[in-house]
Structure 1
Amino acid sequence: MKTLRTLALTGLLSLSAPAWAGDFVDTRLSFVFADDNVLAGAGETTPNSPNARFGAGNQNTQFYDNFNTRFSGFETLSNVVLYKRMPAFFEGLTTEAALTILVLEQPSGGVTLRDNSSYIRLNYTPPGWGEREGISLTGFPVSADRFRLGYAYRISWGGSGIFTTRAAAEGVPGAKLQITRDRWYAYVGGKTALALNDLILEKETLYGAMAGAGVDLLETLRLEAGGGYFQKGIIPGLANQGIRAPVNSAGVSGQAVYHVGVPVGTSVDFRLYRNDPEVYQRFFAPEIYTGGLSYSVSLEGSFLTQSLENPDVFGQTVTQDATAVALQARAKFNYLRVHLLGLYRSLSFIQFEVPGLPPYRDFPEGTKLNPEMFIAAGADYHLPSLHFTPGFIVGVQQPASFRSPEFTGGGNNPPPSLTGTRTVVVRDVNLLSILPETCGTAACEADLILSAKATFRWDLSETVAAVGEVYYTYDNNRTTFRDDVTGVAEPRFEEPHALGFNTLLQARF
């Protein structure tokens, strides 16, 4: 045994001596006790709301939560990175690679392993350039999902899902060529995916191209912009009738950031994980309070377009536009933090990756469309002697909705409850609430959603914290289907009031 240990240690030292190498493990363990609505029991709401239990998910979050991450915050997960960096045999060239694996535990106890944009990178630093400058080529062998356009995760686009879920299941590798200087950067890149061609019943290659740039006009002001073009295959419904109708999408995104005392960064889900302290600090570690005033304000917008089936003219396609705007403001003064968040998303933007609603189809002429809009504000105050941080958040949302001349969600032979014209609330991608046909003498329309949340965080050690939330939501768009006197299921409004809580004991290491 002693000999084996000696050999192993010798091997590790010989491998790491001429290189920068190491492992990075970023883990979050979450023990949760929660109830998304204490005012309702099992079977009384849609989706179902069981009584208080151990465990939680997206149903326990509010519309302003998780703006810069794809996770709910209740998961037990780990980001495991095996990383190595070495100087090349040629002057100025450095090679590096990272195998990044997302380990996500399922409620059943199973574990899902997923590539988290592993990469190989070549970086060339010309003579006279700074240490952080260079020309780099990055290849993503399995998934280039983190290579995206947009800046806040909620309205980012161009990830693996841009080719639709049918293509994303086959993997979406890609490559990125970037030049980075002290005050500016620019990049070009591309991705490919495989998708079934429903005309020839064989898989074909889909292509995507991306480009972007950013510049620090001042030490406190950064401007960034990017754009892309992506193929999405052909429309399956028309292909089954012998018609080839390609779906192509394109768009541009831009952002302006003004920051004082706060470094400009991106969502943790965009980063290429490396074994450096900065990534760890930005993920699960507690906030660091350095004193004084610091703040940042960012405004970003995106305009996208894609071709979909024209529901009013057989066999033809039509262009559908999509827009999104996000405002983020954050400030910290000593131990006080305040933040403001605003969002605008058109319904077509929410459904852009599907694409459309129903899939691959534009909205019929005469459809009344309403975008999603919300604004939320909050604050918290850290008590260093107690390691305790109480806070609150309030927000109001106008959910996205549409009202077609004829309801199209009931299939080819819909029941009476899914015919005629009615309003459909779209809370997120393919997450719908069908409202009753009339409210009194007028057509039912989507109502504002109000939400308020009280929060606390108690850091018990550098790695373990207790977190609690109590929230109230007024949502008069909640519906479920109930049988009427004739036995036909009809949408009915649920109780609009919801009171819930989340309590977590969370470990981070």
Structure 2
Amino acid sequence: MKLRFLLAVVAAPTLALAQPPVPTGAEGNPTTAPTPAPVDADEARIREIVDREIARVLTERAAKEAADKAVREAAEKETATTVPADKDPDLTGASGFMDTRLAFTLTHENILAKPGETIPSAPGWRFGVPNSLGVLFFDNYDTRFSGFETLNHAVAYRSYSRGHLQAEGAFVLRIQELTETNIALADAGTYITISNWKDPTHKDPTRISLTAFPVSSDRFRLGYSYRLSWGGSPEYRRSRSSTPGVKLQYDTNGFYGFIGAKSSTLVDPNDGELKGAVAVLAGAGIDPMPNVRLEVNGGYFDRGYNELQDVQQEKVQLFGVSAQASINNGMSPRSSVDYRLYKYNGERVSPLFNPEKYPGGLSWLAQAEFTMLGQTLKDPGAIGDTVIQKGYAGDVNVRVKKDRIRLRADLSFRDLAFILHSQPSLPPYSDFPEEYKVKPNLFAAIGFDKNWGDWLTLGAIVGVEQPATLTSEKGIPGDTTMTSKSTAVIRNNNIDTLITILPEGKSAAPQFAVKGSGKIDFGRIYTVVLEVFYSYDPNQSRFEREGDDPDSSNFKYVFGEFNQLGLNATLQCRF
């Protein structure tokens, strides 16, 4: 109606100009008598012209819309077959940095000792990363990191999903700053995963997936607690090449199963040539009833030929099995963050450092694990023979949350053969001689903390550890300072194996430790942590000259400072 009125207004002046001249005799031209035109005829003519103009405009508009639609459909058809990779709606992901950990720490590992009175030495007050004395035996039980590192991860991640198919790939590079000029670069689990999902929306977890690790398969491990894990890259510590691997896994509600393999190259001591060494891994888990999970995994590792001369024709073969039972109420079974694969989606790069949630009420989790290993090593009692050295480990971990209070308890057992299985053994590549006396590592710790208002957390933990030891009547292999009875205290902190030799004729004793901590969270990703700890470790020793003459005096081991009072104050940023 508005269009009809508008066209009428536009057409009216034209019609007026088209009227015939005033006849002679009309007003203003009196020579001719007027002959007025009929009013009805003029209105009909105007209506006809308006209708014709409206029809023309509508026709042109329809033609234009049809042409635009044809062009648009042609463009969409062309785009559907030639969509650039970065514009494909099925292809997602991004590249960038994630799992960034910044830590600025004021530390003193032992205020009660002077530099040189402990092994390792406590340098005094300083800014930097604490050495192993500043990390107690119950710290970081389920991770390879101490929490004081400054590091980052460069991740290039892409995911393609269409229907039941999903393909993922990520290049993951860990960048860890050690000093101003020393930056460690390492692969942190680069992978390619291809999955076939039962449900294209992924609401049903049923799928079969193939994950390939082109560079490092260290995240593909056996065991469950990180402290008790095995089958990672340390099993091929002699290799200078990468350790790629592959895993085929089936997941569904209440069940998973996998089989996989990894390999490396090792120098054959018989001919000096590089030769391949392959490992096979498998495992499964099932939820037989609500809140209960049973898991088992195991593997076989070809670790190359023995380096000892009389058994160089024999291979070092590692094999074993791990099992875990979990029971929970409102708290899901946990797994080490160091087993996870990195995904960068450009929006929320990582839930690794989400603040702890306190939903209220009571929830708890209890997990028990046991591992048994076997490894073919030289038989120290027979020339040219090998023997299977057996190693055992186990733990019990309990976590309880009641409103804003958390409780934890850890019990752990590792015998010396398990602790040293990656070396392997001591002396390397040989079982322990019969005259050696070995004792396992045992520790227990219990702790609690309470949170106020999602920003302040105060807690404490206390623990006792009996370190693993090796005692020899003829001195420790590799040590030239003692030839009589001596004892080596052997510790492992998830990364390094630390050996402390006690003074001649002395035995190891339990270590006691307690730590109090306060944590303030702010800005969601920022934290201030203060730790004050005390330890009584009667297994501390150090080197000392027997006399004053540096040319003729030998070194000997003497006890160091047993009491340790330390402090770590850290400003952290994690995102």
> Structure 2 length as normaliser, TM-score?
0.80
2:192 is the alignment partner of 1:120: yes
Query: Partner letter of residue 266 of structure 1?
Result: S
User: Residue in 2 aligned with 1:67?
Assistant: 141
SS at match of 1:328: strand
Query: Partner letter of residue 280 of structure 1?
Result: S
CA contact (8 A) 2:311 2:386 kept: no
User: Residue in 1 aligned with 2:487?
Assistant: 423
2:561 is the alignment partner of 1:492: no
User: Residue in 2 aligned with 1:466?
Assistant: 528
2:503 is the alignment partner of 1:436: yes
Q: Shift of residue 127 of structure 1?
A: 6.9
Query: Partner letter of residue 382 of structure 1?
Result: N
CA contact (8 A) 2:269 2:312 kept: no
Matching of residues 52-451 of structure 1 within 5 Å: 52-57=125-130, 58-87=132-161, 92-126=164-198, 131-163=204-236, 165-167=237-239, 169-238=240-309, 243-275=312-344, 280-281=350-351, 283-384=352-453, 387-410=455-478, 414=480, 417-428=481-492, 429-438=496-505, 444-451=506-513
Query: Partner letter of residue 92 of structure 2?
Result: W
Query: Partner letter of residue 207 of structure 1?
Result: V
Q: Shift of residue 109 of structure 1?
A: 4.0
Distance 2:85 2:456 in 1: 43
Distance 1:156 1:494 in 2: 32
Query: Would you tell me which structure has more helix in proportion to its own residues?
Result: 2
Q: Shift of residue 80 of structure 1?
A: 2.9
CA contact (8 A) 2:469 2:490 kept: yes
Query: Partner letter of residue 482 of structure 1?
Result: E
Distance 1:278 1:15 in 2: 20
User: Residue in 1 aligned with 2:514?
Assistant: 452
User: Residue in 2 aligned with 1:6?
Assistant: none
User: Residue in 1 aligned with 2:50?
Assistant: none
SS at match of 2:238: helix
CA contact (8 A) 1:123 1:135 kept: yes
Q: Shift of residue 15 of structure 1?
A: 3.5
Distance 1:265 1:467 in 2: 24
1:220-254 superposed Cα distances (whole Å, 9 cap, x missing partner) = 0110000100011112122xx68412100100000
**For residues 448 and 12 of structure 1, do their structure 2 counterparts lie closer, same or farther at Cα, with a shift above 3 Å needed?**
farther
Distance 2:311 2:355 in 1: 58
Query: Partner letter of residue 216 of structure 2?
Result: S
CA contact (8 A) 2:85 2:91 kept: no
1:2-40 superposed Cα distances (whole Å, 9 cap, x missing partner) = xxxxxxxxx999435322323461211000100000111
Query: Partner letter of residue 491 of structure 1?
Result: Y
1:411-456 superposed Cα distances (whole Å, 9 cap, x missing partner) = 6xx3xx3202211111225411111223xxxxx2110000000001
CA contact (8 A) 2:476 2:486 kept: no
Distance 1:45 1:149 in 2: 35
Query: Partner letter of residue 450 of structure 1?
Result: F
For this pair of structures, how many residues does the alignment match? 482
Distance 2:437 2:410 in 1: 27
Structure label with greater radius of gyration: 2
**Which range moves more in the overlay, 271-280 or 129-138?**
271-280
Q: Shift of residue 107 of structure 1?
A: 2.4
Q: Shift of residue 280 of structure 1?
A: 2.8
Distance 1:14 1:183 in 2: 37
SS at match of 1:154: helix
> Structure 1 length as normaliser, TM-score?
0.91
Gaps in structure 2 of 5+ consecutive residues: 1-82
Distance 2:383 2:229 in 1: 33
2:114 is the alignment partner of 1:41: yes
1:338-393 superposed Cα distances (whole Å, 9 cap, x missing partner) = 100111000111111111112111111132111000000100000117x1111001
CA contact (8 A) 2:426 2:477 kept: no
SS at match of 1:166: coil
